[in-house]
């Protein structure tokens, strides 16, 4: 009976040892196997893995993590204070160095935040207020600030803690209340200056449009006058041709009509004309009897 209990105990111990010899690394993880506190292997690929029963497993997240730093007050180049909030996207690049230097994610965040905060204070001292905050429409300097922050953080985090910093960004820039009013006035002044510039450009453009319109109107008017003169000349020519044709057919009748037209132009409405009885007009209108004294005429009203 004793040997049965012994056999069962051995089987249980073997099963337990076998169970303790296998572990699983999931997708998005990597692991370090330590034996009596000393690293013996680094596992980067997911799956079912084997270890000694006495070995310890430390799992690490190999995905990109986001660190958001606490707001930090820095002094700019023009000696004005600025409150800055940043973030850092990071992942583990050297699992062994990471394990030996920081141990876990919480400590890694604290170490990385110290590096980023130090870099913010170092980089932003190169920039003045007018450079960071501008309303002139020029390209923002934040891209250059973030690039400088990444360069200042990346090498230090990799060499000290085995952390690869993928990106460093600025989430918030704010002034303390003591300088907000002066910044607001400066931005207002810049916007007013920009508005005046746009207004001047608009007036210049409007003047150009008016000048172009006047030029086109003058050209159209000149062409219309030219065309009118040409049509008038054509009309006069056609009239002369008509007069010439009428004269050739009946010279006396044509002469009579021309005289009557002339008299109509001379004698307007309500005009008073005093003529001699020997006037051709009187003889034309009243006949030869007037000249003989039979019907004297002193005036005519039309």
Q: Spell out the domain ranges in the chain.
A: 2-61, 65-175, 198-249, 250-301
Q: Which CATH number does 65-175 carry?
A: 3.30.479.30
pLDDT tens-place string over residues 116-146: 999 998 888 888 877 776 655 555 678 888 8
Closest CA to 80 of 152, 176, 168: 176
Query: From CA 39, how far away is CA 58, in angstroms rounded?
Result: 10
Confidence of residue 296 (pLDDT cuts 50, 70, 90): very low
- The mean pLDDT value for 228-242 works out to 82
Instruction: Tell me what pLDDT residue 73 has.
Output: 85
Tokens standing for residue 54: 């006495």
- The mean pLDDT value for 28-55 works out to 78
Tokens standing for residue 99: 């394990």
Highest mean pLDDT among 31-35, 79-83, 91-95: 91-95
- The mean pLDDT value for 36-60 works out to 77
User: Are the C-beta atoms of residues 135 and 191 closer than 8 Å to each other?
Assistant: yes
Confidence of residue 299 (pLDDT cuts 50, 70, 90): very low
Query: From CA 231, how far away is CA 160, in angstroms rounded?
Result: 97
**Burial label, 181 (beta-carbon count in 10 A; 0-12, 13-18, 19+):** exposed
Q: Name the average pLDDT for the chain.
A: 78
User: Angle, to 10 degrees, between the axis of helix 105-123 and the axis of helix 142-161?
Assistant: 140
3-state DSSP call for residue 11?
helix
The pLDDT of residue 206 is above 60: yes
User: Are the C-beta atoms of residues 46 and 61 closer than 8 Å to each other?
Assistant: no
Instruction: Tell me what pLDDT residue 105 has.
Output: 86
């Amino acid at each position: 009976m004793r040997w049965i209990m012994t056999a069962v105990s051995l089987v249980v111990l073997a099963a337990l040892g076998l169970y303790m010899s296998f572990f699983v690394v999931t997708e998005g993880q990597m692991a370090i196997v330590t034996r009596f506190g000393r690293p013996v292997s680094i596992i980067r690929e997911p799956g079912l893995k084997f270890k000694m029963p006495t070995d310890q497993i430390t799992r690490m997240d190999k995905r990109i993590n986001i660190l958001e730093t606490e707001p930090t007050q820095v002094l700019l180049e023009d000696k004005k204070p600025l409150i800055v909030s940043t973030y850092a996207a990071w992942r583990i690049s050297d699992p062994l160095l990471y394990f030996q230097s920081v141990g876990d994610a919480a400590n890694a965040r604290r170490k990385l935040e110290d590096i980023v905060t130090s870099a913010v204070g170092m980089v932003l001292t190169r920039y003045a207020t007018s450079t960071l905050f501008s309303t002139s429409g020029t390209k923002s300097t934040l891209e250059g600030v973030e690039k400088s922050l990444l360069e200042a953080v990346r090498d230090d985090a990799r060499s000290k803690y085995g952390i690869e910093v993928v990106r460093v960004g600025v989430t918030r820039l704010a002034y303390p209340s003591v300088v907000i009013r002066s910044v607001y006035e400066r931005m207002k002044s810049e916007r007013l200056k920009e508005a005046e510039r746009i207004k001047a450009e608009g007036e210049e453009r409007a003047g150009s449009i008016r000048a172009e319109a006047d030029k086109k109107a003058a050209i159209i008017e000149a062409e219309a006058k030219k065309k009118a003169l040409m049509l008038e000349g054509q009309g006069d020519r056609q009239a002369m041709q008509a007069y010439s044709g009428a004269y050739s057919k009946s010279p006396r009748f044509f002469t009579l009509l021309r005289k009557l037209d002339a008299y109509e132009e001379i004698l307007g409405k309500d005009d008073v004309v005093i003529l001699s009885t020997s006037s051709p007009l009187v003889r034309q209108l009243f006949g030869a009897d007037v000249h003989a004294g039979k019907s004297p005429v002193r005036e005519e009203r039309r």
